Amino acid sequence: MEQPDLERIVEQALALARRRGATAAEAGVGTGSGLSVTVRLGEVETLEYQRDRSLGVTVYVNQRKGSASTANLTPSAVEETVSKALSIASFTAEDEYSGLPDAGLMAHELPDLDLCHPWDIDAPGAIELAKRCEAAGLAVDSRIRNSEGASVATHRNMRVFGNSHGFIGGYPSTSHTVSCVVLGQENGEMQRDYWYTAARDWRALEDVEEVGRKAAGRAIGRLGAGKLPTRKAPILFAPEMARGLIGHFVGAIGGGAQYRRSSFLLDAAGQQVFPPGISLSERPHLQGALGSAPFDGEGVATRDRDLVVNGMLTGYLLDAYSARKLGLATTGNAGGVHNLVVQGDRLDHDALLQRLGSGLLVTEMMGQGVNPVTGDYSRGATGFWIENGVVDRPVHEITVAGNLRDMYQGIVALGDDLDRRGAIHCGSILIEQMTIAGA
């Protein structure tokens, strides 16, 4: 189905809701199709075609709210979904904070963000790429003796959203990924590692052979890993790990965590949460970026925003409901953050290691030991011990611990190795000191 077809479905749902007594309503419809394949040891392990469709309807009867959804987009199914939403609303309690965002906040102009680049690849073509990716990894070193597979995936989506303010908007998007996981073995020890590439435009993906080689190089580098004695030391988080640290910050300043009083950064707006010189900026209109969007999940126009300026938090990430609960205005973050970029003076990899001196480079983490209320942080880690700015040896079976608020304040350097494979754009992060629990 094309965008005009989906717009008609949204309009039908909104018109039905109005006729049947809803004082306000919103509806979102999406369709998607995709292909994904996994090859292991040169043989096809999985091959999947996806074709999805969904409609979600939310109605408000004064301040009572009801929601219903369906995967059937026929007129009768749309009518039934609206009826179910209204029925649910009749049983819910009134909530003075419920309702649509203000009409003046809707996205009136939808910029072209270059988000749709369909990949004209069929199953045999995807299988061939996956085989090349895995073969390149297996050929790197005789110690690479096994594989968990290489995968190629491509997806195309169309989303249309509208509400009873008269807003209706939609846009197509694509996402493509190539990944590889291999295992190295030496002297009875086995180590596993991975690499992946992701982009809106398939032409921006890393070369498939390079993905395999990077996965193999990372696995080989981990062979011979040992433990560390318990100590305190500087910690350097590799970009994909640092992105998770910033993700915890995003959760802590989200409207839901704030109005529920369940955040370690409660009421932190206006406070110094990072060292001076570090800023976080939301850039939702970056061309072709994975986190770009012209409007949020409620139709509110997205806009550039400096969320942290020289270490000071300027505000929260809010949707309409959490904003009303806090007595604030929505920030256009219903559904999440859009291209949050960590900014500051950046060092290259060698300079970061020199700045680290003697400490731990973390390349993988395990476990969920993060308390969003207190900020206490304790997770299993794997990586490399750095001695005098040089990689000394791989380490594993250790735990790194601290408190997120202290960790953010303890950032002493950022890397120029920016990872853009998601909605948070972040390079390596060096923290002055954390506890390492080991042997």
CATH number for the domain spanning 41: value is 3.30.2290.10
Say which residue the tokens 């965590």 belong to: 257
CA-CA-CA-CA torsion for 307, 248, 323, 289, nearest 10 degrees?
60
- Do residues 253 and 379 both lie within one domain? yes
Q: What whole-number percentage of the chain has pLDDT above 70? A: 100
Q: Alpha-carbon distance 123 to 120, whole Å?
A: 10
Contact yes or no for 104/147 (Cβ under 8 A): no
pTM summary value: 0.94
Q: Does 176 share its domain with 252? A: no
Q: Are 427 and 416 in contact (CB under 8 A)?
A: yes
- Residue 367, pLDDT score: 86
Would you give the DSSP letter of residue 117? Answer: B
Given 175, 193, 222, the domain boundary residue is 222
Average the pLDDT over 3-15 and give the result.
97
Q: How many domains does the chain have?
A: 2
Q: What is the mean pLDDT of residues 75-85?
A: 97
Same domain, 359 and 303: yes
Last-in-domain residue among 202, 222, 242: 222
Judgement on whether residues 137 and 242 belong to the same structural domain of the protein:
no
CA atoms of 273 and 260, how far apart (whole Å): 20
Within 13 Å, how many C-alpha atoms sit on residue 114's CB side? Answer: 9
* In a shared domain, residues 314 and 416: yes
For the record, the structure tokens of 6 come out as 């989906």
Query: How confident is residue 215, by pLDDT bands cut at 50, 70 and 90?
Result: very high
Asked whether residue 140 falls in the same domain as residue 184, the answer is yes
Same domain, 286 and 347: yes
Instruction: Of 283, 318, 323, 324, give the one whose Cα is nearest residue 297.
Output: 318
Please report, for residues 179, 348, 355, 404, the alpha-carbon distance to residue 415 in angstroms, rounded to integers and kept in the order given.
24, 6, 11, 19
Co-location of 90 and 237 in the same domain = no
Same domain, 253 and 364: yes
Q: Which of 346, 335, 36 is nearest to 196 (CA)?
A: 36
Strand pairing report for 231-237 and 359-366: parallel
pLDDT, tens digit, 9 for 90 and up, residues 97-151: 999 999 999 999 899 999 999 999 999 999 999 999 999 999 999 999 999 999 9
How many helices (H) and strands (E) the chain has is answered by 9, 18
> What is residue 439's predicted lDDT score, i.e. its pLDDT?
60
Do residues 204 and 276 share a domain? no
pLDDT of 276 > 70? The answer is: yes
Mean pLDDT of 237-251: 97
Q: Classify residue 316 as exposed, middle or buried by CB count within 10 Å of its CB (0-12, 13-18, 19+).
A: buried
What is the percentage of the chain residues whose pLDDT exceeds 90? Answer: 97
Percent helix, strand and coil across the chain, each rounded to 5? 25, 40, 35
Q: How far apart are CA 401 and CA 407, in angstroms?
A: 10
Same domain, 143 and 279: no
CA distances from 134 to 111, 190, 319 (A): 39, 18, 43
Which residue range is the domain that position 406 belongs to? Answer: 231-437
Domain boundary among 180, 196, 222: 222
Per-residue confidence (pLDDT) for residue 111, from 0 to 100: 95
Q: Which two tokens stand for residue 88?
A: 């649910």
The DSSP bridge partners found for residue 80 are none
- pLDDT 10s digits, 173-191: 999 999 999 999 998 899 9
Chain centroid to Cα 9, Å, comes to: 29
Query: Which region among 79-88, 293-302, 378-387, 430-439 has the lowest average model confidence (pLDDT)?
Result: 430-439
Whether 256 and 208 share a structural domain = no
Cα–Cα distance for residue pair 295/290, rounded to 1 Å: 14
Q: What is the mean pLDDT of residues 6-12?
A: 97
Residue 30, helix vs strand vs coil: strand
